[in-house]
Structure 1
Amino acid sequence: MSTDTSRLANRGSLWLPIWAGLCASLVGIGLARFAYTPLLPALIDAHWFPATAVVYLGAANLAGYLIGALAGRPLAARWSNVTVLRGMMLLVTVSFFACAWPQSQVWFFAWRLVSGISGGVIMVLAATSILPHVAAKRRGLASGAIFLGIGLGIAASGTLVPLLLSHGLQLTWLGLGALALLLSASSWFGWPREHLHAPSEPIETKHQASLGVQVLFVQYALMAAGLVAPMMFLVDYVSRGLGAGIHGGALIWTLYGIGAIVGPVIYGFVADHVGARSAIRWVLLIQLVALGCLLESRNLITLGAASVVIGSFPPGIVPLALARVHQLVPGRVAQNTTWSRATVSFASFQAIAGYAYSAMFSASQGHYGLLFAVAGAAIGLALLAELALLWKGSLERNTAAGAG
């Protein structure tokens, strides 16, 4: 073990790079994407842009995220991971400041696109720059801590952003920029200096691993499709669909945010102890039950509990998927490439699902149940894909045992 690895293996020094990763996910995804949601009404009320343009401008971040997921590895090949990650955090910071002055729709779209690109690059590079320095038995928890930033961003969208909005829309963007700058500065020297080769770990057979990766891509895409509907329409469903009003919707979103905060760490911890594959199976099953509660119950207490579970899902599945990649694929380069492709799969279906749900909502004249049913079907298919893989592996083992 190298001196650098020994230092990072120390618990105290380990948290410095994890802090850097958390700050990156908080700035690049947590704030850059989710802080926009509570800004939508304010942008319309302030007449910065027409209502239709505000939704279109919001989609720019999702499009940029897909571009960033594709560009992450090529950028890292040209410059170092750390240089690219620092640059992306600064770009998000600049985008916040730039959005404080809406020069035109093109100007605003460009900067929202830039923030999305930065988020996609950060998703591809942040954890893979840190986890090789972490002992294998602690990587799930470490990746959960890194992606805790996404959950904190979701929580901030329901707490910090409304507080900033009380001082005006322009000051809100400036405040987000100042926060992003502070987080970028605090994490600047926290990134690991060297790229280490992860120690070899037990993996499945080549055939099983190849099939497992394909199934993971499908599952991750279906998870993306499943999480979008509650993320987009849960608050509106409670506020208007159930007649609970703005305060009821705000309470549900707060609970969703609490789930988003605890999700990554809990999911990562579970992955360390039961394995990524088993963890994914149980998480999908629990998520399916929570979505069922949205469809069947109108009780706010039940819906509140379901919201915590559903909120844990968007940031929580990231460390699970990453742990599964490490379980299936040997070698750091191959793992990084596979993770990049998984992120592209997720980003593509997330963007497609966003537009598809909007179209369904309009065509069904506001039928929330239809949206949640489609989301549940996506999660159910992801679970069936896992069970089919499990059944296939069991059948192959029984056949081999019979032949022996």
Structure 2
Amino acid sequence: MSKHPILFLIGGIFSLMIAMGIGRFAYTPILPLMQNDLSFTDTLAGYLASSNYAGYLAGAVIAGVFSLNKHKTNYLRVSLIISILTTLSMGLTHTYLLMLVLRFISGVVSAFIFVLSSSIVLDKLSTAGKTNWIGYFYSGVGVGIFFSTLFIPRLNSLFGWEGVWVGLAIVSIILTFFVWLWLQDTTSTSIKTQEQVDEIQVPPFKWLTWLMIAYGLEGLGYIVTGTFIVSIAENTTDFRFDSSIVWIVVGLGAIPSCIMWSTLAKRMGYVKTLVFSMALQAIGIALPVIWTSQTSLFLSAFLFGATFMGITTLATTLARQMSPTNSSKVIGYLTAIYATGQMLGPTIAGIVTSVTQSYNAALIGAASTVIIGALFLIGGIRFDRKTENSLIK
């Protein structure tokens, strides 16, 4: 780590690009293309998205329950290979049931890659005294969303939606080569000293329950926009651009967001910053309902991108600091409750949208859910003002 910290960080970023930017979120801009060709209803689209998030939940639970500390690199590499195969296979089938299975498996390995790479990178950055780089690591999701979406219009025009999946699988293979070279858990994780742990002000460990509840509600709410925003643009008569551009805007908002929110949290406090970011996200989710236009869709996409990975960065960093000696397990549990919410979100939103023939009710419900999650965090703001030594036990 001390020899090549930049390469190590880039390897971590690439792993998130593969697992999250492509493996999980490429489905959103490809969804309208699949719906046009295969006549998917919003309900079926919601089920397909929920299948991926159910897999993500299963993977997060497995990562939380079982100790993966001894073979992190091996587990990560196997997960990357499976992720590529599921992305490739999505472009080779028109069978809905097989797609459900593929998206489920993709979700499982996405969770593994997220938890394992987060644990490896956060532990090593902490050991190397580079915790200020954490935001750069999590920006990998936004970078993955942005760059993968750039390929979609061209690949679709040449090869259809099937070619988009195959093309993104090829991109993933290239990125995996560098992850294989640069991201390795070559040193044992040592127990952090008091000075190392006291990097940020955090609530006591018993407050973790409130963080998990809020994070679960965040997962339930944010994923409605995360699944359907491109379809919303596709079905908005005033929207005159290629709908995939909306997802590019999401990626642009997400790239600097983790760095921005981490910097703000060190000044304002992590809990207070979490509350603020979730409130801002709720406004972005509800914006297309309040104001129907091209501008509101772009602004909604940007606010969504600017908050959803920032919230993950804040919550994950905060949880790890509250339990620094068992990072894989606590990140796994936190990811599991988040995955539970996002598994339910697309199904509920898809059914509501099909019944009402409008995305409005689903978006208002999602925004309200995120606000409720933020309210669960308010009691923890008082810990932001306490000294670190009184909080770390």
Fold shared per TM-score above 0.5 = yes
Supply the AA of the counterpart residue of 1:62: Y
Relative distance call for 1:39 and 1:307 in structure 2 (3 A) is closer
Residues 1:23 and 2:11 are matched in the alignment: no
Relative distance call for 1:102 and 1:138 in structure 2 (3 A) is same
* 1:223-372 superposed matches below 5 A: 223-241=218-236, 243-247=237-241, 249-291=243-285, 293-298=287-292, 300-329=294-323, 331-333=324-326, 335-366=327-358, 368-372=359-363
Percent of matched pairs sharing the same residue: 19
Report the alpha carbon displacement of residue 68 of structure 1 after superposing the two structures with TM: 1.0
- Segments of 5+ residues of structure 1 without an aligned counterpart are 1-7, 398-404
Q: Is the 8 A contact 2:284 2:300 kept in 1?
A: yes
Distance of 2:224 and 2:94 partners within structure 1: 32
Supply the AA of the counterpart residue of 1:313: T
- Deviations 1:88-118 (Å, cap 9, x if unpaired)? 1111112233333328445443332221111
Q: Is the 8 A contact 1:222 1:349 kept in 2?
A: yes
Q: Is the 8 A contact 2:32 2:231 kept in 1?
A: no
Supply the AA of the counterpart residue of 2:331: W
Relative distance call for 1:290 and 1:99 in structure 2 (3 A) is closer
Relative distance call for 1:53 and 1:232 in structure 2 (3 A) is closer
Relative distance call for 1:255 and 1:275 in structure 2 (3 A) is same
**With CA pairs under 8 Å and 6+ residues apart, which has the higher RCO, 1 or 2?**
2
- Segments of 5+ residues of structure 2 without an aligned counterpart are 388-393
Secondary structure of the structure 2 residue equivalent to 1:101: coil
Distance of 1:78 and 1:247 partners within structure 2: 47
Secondary structure of the structure 1 residue equivalent to 2:256: helix
Highest Rg: 1 or 2?
A: 1
Report the alpha carbon displacement of residue 326 of structure 1 after superposing the two structures with TM: 2.7
Distance of 1:248 and 1:212 partners within structure 2: 45
Distance of 1:186 and 1:58 partners within structure 2: 29
- Deviations 1:104-135 (Å, cap 9, x if unpaired)? 44544333222111101112111111222224
User: Number of matched residues?
Assistant: 381
TM-score, normalised with respect to structure 2: 0.84
Q: Is the 8 A contact 2:46 2:350 kept in 1?
A: no
Report the alpha carbon displacement of residue 355 of structure 1 after superposing the two structures with TM: 1.0
Secondary structure of the structure 2 residue equivalent to 1:245: coil
Q: Is the 8 A contact 2:125 2:131 kept in 1?
A: no
Distance of 2:269 and 2:127 partners within structure 1: 12
* 1:3-402 superposed matches below 5 A: 8-9=1-2, 13-47=4-38, 56-73=47-64, 77=68, 80-102=71-93, 104-135=95-126, 141-156=132-147, 158-169=149-160, 170-190=162-182, 191-197=184-190, 198-200=192-194, 201-202=197-198, 209-241=204-236, 243-247=237-241, 249-291=243-285, 293-298=287-292, 300-329=294-323, 331-333=324-326, 335-366=327-358, 368-390=359-381
Q: Is the 8 A contact 2:230 2:247 kept in 1?
A: yes
Secondary structure of the structure 1 residue equivalent to 2:255: helix
Q: 2:390 corresponds to which residue?
A: none
- Deviations 1:266-303 (Å, cap 9, x if unpaired)? 22333344442232122123324434544433454455
Supply the AA of the counterpart residue of 1:233: F
Distance of 1:223 and 1:138 partners within structure 2: 30
Q: Which moved more, 1:61-70 or 1:73-82?
A: 73-82
Q: Is the 8 A contact 1:37 1:157 kept in 2?
A: no
Distance of 1:205 and 1:265 partners within structure 2: 18
Distance of 1:233 and 1:167 partners within structure 2: 24
Secondary structure of the structure 1 residue equivalent to 2:68: helix
Relative distance call for 1:292 and 1:28 in structure 2 (3 A) is closer
Report the alpha carbon displacement of residue 154 of structure 1 after superposing the two structures with TM: 2.4
Secondary structure of the structure 1 residue equivalent to 2:158: coil
- Deviations 1:306-354 (Å, cap 9, x if unpaired)? 431222222222211111113322x422x33221111000000111111
Distance of 2:264 and 2:129 partners within structure 1: 11
Report the alpha carbon displacement of residue 203 of structure 1 after superposing the two structures with TM: 8.9
TM-score, normalised with respect to structure 1: 0.82
Secondary structure of the structure 1 residue equivalent to 2:215: helix
Q: Is the 8 A contact 2:52 2:343 kept in 1?
A: no
